[in-house]
């Protein structure tokens, strides 16, 4: 992310115009290679992301490491709580889901009529001839345990002394007190990336406007790293958390309605839908609108318009008032000119930045949009975000087993299976399609009333989707013959396989040919430029620093010690990584 220079940037006040020129390196002194465990980054619900203030203890929250698991690339101006949930989903999500399921299985057994440890409410009618017990213990326990583990599993893992991933987090891993170590750490940012296994991009609309964020991405490509990139838009993380919360509220509301006022199951179900669908519609609309901004930002990407600390403050430190000697923009631009320049030609920033811009706008835009589009959200994420609360409700229904006809219980199990694995993921996919169409037509207008009307319109569409997807399964289950019901489940299974087949039958680490070719095209630019200039002198030619790009001042030099590694096509993943 953006680097801190007291607290942001490089060199502090100790830089001197008369000193040696700075060099952006892709090698790093061993003593400077540091990582910090996940529990320290996610401490206090993401308070470390709320500001870039530091003290002497910040650097001591990291430690020397041989390699870094994940490099967290972010900008400091984005929401701290969204960053927290994005990383919590990434590092705690899988464990929270499975442990909450195991814990919720305990009350599922204890509330069964044959065990009788936990009390059950009065049976509630679900079909004409079967009444089932509307349990609530599994929902209460499972939802709470999942929420607690999602936010705090990193601390429990630390207490248990289990192995934790080590992250590069700029605030902790670059010394902000010692000027020499601070300068060496920032100049060696590429060295951190060289020793990193995976790049985690916490994307916001401002991400590609930050100079150092752009540089981090360019270094990753230049180093020919395997494509282990987690591209997590913060709006996607927020949307997943909101959807999970809304579906949990829907499940609890349905149980409370049946418990306090035993209406028909149908009436309670649609009453719950009427409450949550407008909120779900608004969440989908804001999510889609934010991701459509990503496409616009990438298509307008211009490295020359990125912002950095020194240029924003006119090269005068805002706290000390002393001049900032070395310009971050010069360093980054010249580095890009050596990596992305024309083959066999001297480094020309105009040509190099134009090539880099064109690659990001075309090839790399395809690469990111292939993974970031909400319709590409992997099936397993939808199960946890949208359907997981319904798993707990399904466990509560197990209290009916052994008390009612076996065929009726089996039909109920099949219906819940269809709801969890078919209906709700398909409902999300249909809702995304409608949201994309609605955003393309009218966008996000100003004012509460227009947006409220659009939320209601989308909620009506979601209700229609629910009727189309859920009603056949729910209604046909009540018929005497099981074949129409099984046929409806089979039809929705085929539809789900068609839409989510890549995730159901393919490897989790998948990348389309189009995206792979796009990234290889961008990387080949860096490869050719590096190969053609590898033997040249490190000092830039006189015409390399054109006035429109660089102001007068010290000439940066590029480190030449690092040689690129062979390119390998690996994985690009969106959001939570499940391993």
Instruction: State the total domains in the chain.
Output: 1
Domain that holds residue 125: 4-10+23-574
Residue 15: inside a domain: no
Cα–Cα distance between 288 and 437 in angstroms, integer? 10
- How many other β-carbons are positioned within 10 Å of the β-carbon of residue 20? 8
Helix axes 406-418, 388-397, angle to 10 degrees: 170
Residue 547: inside a domain: yes
Q: Where are the strands (E) in 229-293, listed by range?
A: 229-233
Residue 319: inside a domain: yes
Residue 516: inside a domain: yes
Residue 579: inside a domain: no
pLDDT in tens, the chain (579 residues): 444 443 334 334 434 444 444 556 667 888 889 999 999 999 877 788 876 666 667 888 888 999 999 999 988 888 889 999 999 999 999 899 999 999 999 998 888 877 878 887 666 555 445 556 667 889 999 999 999 999 999 999 999 989 889 999 988 888 877 878 888 888 888 889 889 999 999 988 888 888 888 888 888 877 777 667 888 888 888 888 988 998 898 888 888 877 777 666 677 778 888 888 999 899 889 888 888 877 777 788 888 888 888 888 888 877 778 887 778 888 888 777 777 766 655 567 777 788 778 877 876 677 676 666 666 677 887 888 888 888 998 888 777 666 667 777 788 788 888 888 888 888 888 998 899 899 989 888 888 899 999 999 999 999 999 888 887 887 777 777 888 888 888 888 888 888 876 654 443 333 444 444 555 555 555 544 444 444 333 333 333 333 333 333 333 333 433 333 333 333 334 333 333
Diameter of the chain by CA atoms?
90
Q: How far is CA 43 from the centre of its chain?
A: 19
Residue 508: inside a domain: yes
What is the DSSP secondary structure assignment for residue 167, as one 8-state letter?
E
Cα–Cα distance between 191 and 258 in angstroms, integer? 60
Cα–Cα distance between 558 and 564 in angstroms, integer? 15
Cα–Cα distance between 219 and 326 in angstroms, integer? 20
Cα–Cα distance between 470 and 492 in angstroms, integer? 10
State the pTM of this model. Answer: 0.79
What is the chain's percent helix, strand, coil content, to nearest 5?
Answer: 60, 10, 30
Residue 18: inside a domain: no
**pLDDT the model gives residue 547:** 31
Residue 529 token pair: 């430029």
Strands 68-73 and 196-203: parallel
């Amino acid at each position: 992310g953006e680097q801190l220079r007291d607290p942001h940037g490089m060199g502090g006040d100790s830089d001197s115009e008369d000193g040696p020129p700075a060099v952006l390196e892709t090698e790093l002194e061993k003593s400077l290679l540091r990582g910090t465990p996940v529990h320290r980054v996610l401490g206090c619900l993401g308070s470390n992301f709320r500001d870039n203030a530091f003290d002497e203890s910040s650097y001591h929250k990291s430690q020397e490491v041989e390699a870094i698991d994940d490099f967290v690339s972010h900008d400091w101006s984005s929401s701290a709580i969204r960053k927290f949930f994005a990383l919590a989903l990434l590092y705690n999500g899988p464990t929270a889901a499975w442990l909450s399921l195991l814990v919720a299985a305990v009350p599922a057994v204890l509330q069964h009529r044959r065990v009788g440890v936990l009390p059950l409410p009065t049976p509630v009618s679900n079909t004409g001839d079967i009444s089932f017990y509307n349990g609530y213990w599994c929902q209460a326990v499972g939802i709470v345990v999942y929420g607690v583990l999602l936010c705090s599993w990193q601390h429990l893992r630390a207490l248990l002394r289990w192995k934790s991933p080590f992250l590069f987090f700029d605030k902790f891993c670059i010394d902000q007190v010692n000027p020499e170590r601070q300068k060496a750490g920032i100049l060696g940012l590429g060295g951190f990336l060289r020793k990193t296994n995976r790049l985690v991009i916490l994307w916001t609309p401002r991400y590609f406007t930050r100079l150092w964020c752009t540089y981090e991405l360019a270094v990753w490509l230049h180093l020919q790293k395997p494509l282990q990139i987690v591209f997590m838009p913060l709006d996607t993380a927020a949307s997943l958390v909101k959807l999970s919360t809304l579906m949990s509220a829907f499940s609890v509301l349905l149980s409370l309605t049946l418990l306090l006022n035993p209406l028909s199951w149908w009436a309670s179900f649609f009453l719950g839908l009427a409450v949550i669908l407008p909120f779900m519609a608004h969440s989908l609309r804001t999510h889609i609108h934010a991701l459509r901004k990503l496409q616009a930002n990438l298509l307008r990407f211009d490295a020359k318009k990125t912002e950095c600390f020194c240029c924003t403050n006119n090269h005068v430190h805002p706290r000390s008032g002393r001049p900032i000697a070395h310009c971050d923009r010069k360093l980054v631009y010249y580095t890009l000119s050596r990596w992305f320049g024309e083959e066999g030609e001297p480094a020309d920033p105009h040509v190099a930045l134009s090539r880099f811009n064109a690659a990001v706008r075309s090839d790399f835009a395809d690469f990111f949009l292939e993974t970031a589009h909400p319709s590409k959200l992997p099936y397993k994420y939808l199960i946890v975000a949208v359907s997981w609360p319904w798993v707990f409700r399904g466990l509560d229904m197990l209290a009916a087993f052994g008390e009612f006809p076996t065929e009726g219980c089996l039909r109920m199990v099949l219906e819940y299976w269809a709801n969890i694995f078919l209906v709700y993921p398909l409902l999300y996919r249909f809702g995304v399609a409608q949201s994309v169409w609605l955003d393309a037509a009218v966008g996000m207008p100003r004012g509460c009333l227009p947006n409220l009307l659009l939320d209601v319109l989308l909620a009506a569409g979601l209700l229609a989707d629910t009727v189309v997807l859920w009603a056949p399964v729910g209604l046909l289950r009540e018929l005497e013959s099981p074949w129409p019901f099984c046929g409806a489940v089979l039809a929705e299974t085929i539809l789900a396989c068609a839409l989510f087949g890549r995730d159901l039958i393919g490897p989790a680490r998948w990348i389309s040919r189009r995206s792979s070719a796009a990234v290889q095209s961008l990387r080949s630019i860096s490869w050719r430029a590096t190969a053609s200039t590898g033997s040249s002198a490190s000092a830039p030619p006189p015409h390399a620093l054109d006035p429109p790009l660089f102001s007068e001042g010290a000439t940066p030099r590029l480190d030449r010690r690092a040689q690129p590694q062979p390119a390998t096509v690996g994985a690009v993943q969106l959001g939570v990584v499940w391993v």
